[in-house]
Amino acid sequence: MSRRVLVTGATTPLGVRFVQDLLADEQVGHVLALGVEDTPEGLPSSPKLTYAQSDLRRARHIRRLLGGPVAEHGIDTIVHTALHRSANDEGGSIHRLNVESTRLLLRLAAAAPQIKHFVYRSDAAVYRVRVSAPQVLREDHPLEHSPDAPQWVRDRVEADVVACTHMGLVDLRVMVLRCAEVFAPRMGSQLTDWVRARVSLRPVGFDPMVNLLSLGDASAALRAAVHSDAQAVINVPGADTLPLSALAQRHGRSCVTVPGPLMGPLYRLRTRRRSADFRYDLNAHRFHFSMVLDGRRAVDILGYRPSQRLSWPHP
């Protein structure tokens, strides 16, 4: 049966790629792309595509959206990918976009009889990474509930939990995709910003493994979720698993080791001087301990296997 899909965050690099892939999919009848911008930059023109401008931080915009274009276009699947990307922004407005919009979208979608599927794009950052944690994380791994975690993490955890708590309780099939870090510019990728600096720093004596997801694979996983009738939390690993030092090297960057306690102050200084996005407090644990997502459930339920490697400037 052909799906009619609403995509939030459609003007991000992932949103654009995903909309393009949906338009090329014969089993998708219509795409309603949602962005905060007036004009949908980067989105192709197609009779199958409608662009709607909406600010998800405002509840009345979401209500108008669900009562208006979503109903008019007979949308049956919502793919919610909108998340605030900059790690340095904090506050109520960011929380409304990251968490409250998810809560309201779910509530309204559950009340709309034609909407049957809700796919939430979550993030591997929701997992708690500590020295005692396994290196390959399954979906039942504890989440990062530390009150000391930055809002960037807390919001993602809360939104993920909000989506999970709707599973089985409403007449809506909810799927949560915990994606590995999408390694691309303008995606809020911390490691993309980390390798943007001429010299990438890591704590002396530590070189953990990281797993990175390409836009193509992230889009493929979302597309598989759109066509699935399952209700589950699913990890979405990427095709590239490598140590931090190798990541810097593949980008032609020097990876300099510094004592751990200096990492935070040095990166705060960089953020102040260069308005960089990388925050060491956000990454301190995974700069010491490996974290790779287990992808077995994605294979079993979605038939998704990471296949699209990142392109490296210095392979």
Partner 1 sequence: MAVPRTLQAIERRFLPADLRERLRDLSIADPGHGYDSFGLHADWVSAAAGLFTPLYERWFRVTSHGVENVPQQGGAVLAANHSGTIPIDAMMIWNDVLRHTSPPRVTRVVMDHFVNLLPAISILFGRCGAVGGSRGNFHELLERGELVGVFPEGLPAIGKPWSERYQLCEWREGHAEMAIRHGVPIVPIAVIGSEEQLPTLTRIESIKLFGLPYLPIPATPIPLPVHYHLWYGEPIPTHLDYSPTQADDGAVVREAAARVKASVQALIKRGLAEREGVFR
Q: Which is nearer to partner 1, 164 or 246 (CB)?
A: 246
Angle between helices 13-23 and 215-226 (to 10 degrees): 50
208 touching partner 1, by CB under 8 A: yes
Residues 129-148 that bind partner 1 (CB under 8 A): 131-138, 141
Q: 241: how many CB neighbours lie within 10 A of its CB?
A: 17
Give me the least distance between CB of 212 and partner 1, in Å please.
10
Q: How is residue 220 written in tokens?
A: 């493929």
How far, in Å, CA of 100 to CA of 82, rounded? 12
- The contact pattern for partner 1, residues 159-198, with x = CB under 8 A and - = no contact, is ----------------------------------------
Give me the least distance between CB of 315 and partner 1, in Å please.
10
Cα 254 to chain centroid, rounded? 28
Given a contact cutoff of 8 angstroms between Cβ atoms, the answer to whether 199 and 274 are in contact is: no
Size of the site for partner 1 (CB under 8 A): 31
C-alpha closest to that of 277 among 84, 16, 13, 57: 84
Match 């915009």 to its residue by tokens.
61
Q: How is residue 237 written in tokens?
A: 């690993």
Q: Which is nearer to partner 1, 147 or 259 (CB)?
A: 259
Residues 231-250 that bind partner 1 (CB under 8 A): 239-243, 245-246
In the DSSP assignment, the letter for residue 179 is: E
Give me the least distance between CB of 240 and partner 1, in Å please.
6
Q: Which is nearer to partner 1, 90 or 207 (CB)?
A: 207
Residues making contact with partner 1 (CB under 8 A):
131-138, 141, 203-209, 211, 239-243, 245-246, 255, 288-290, 292, 294, 309
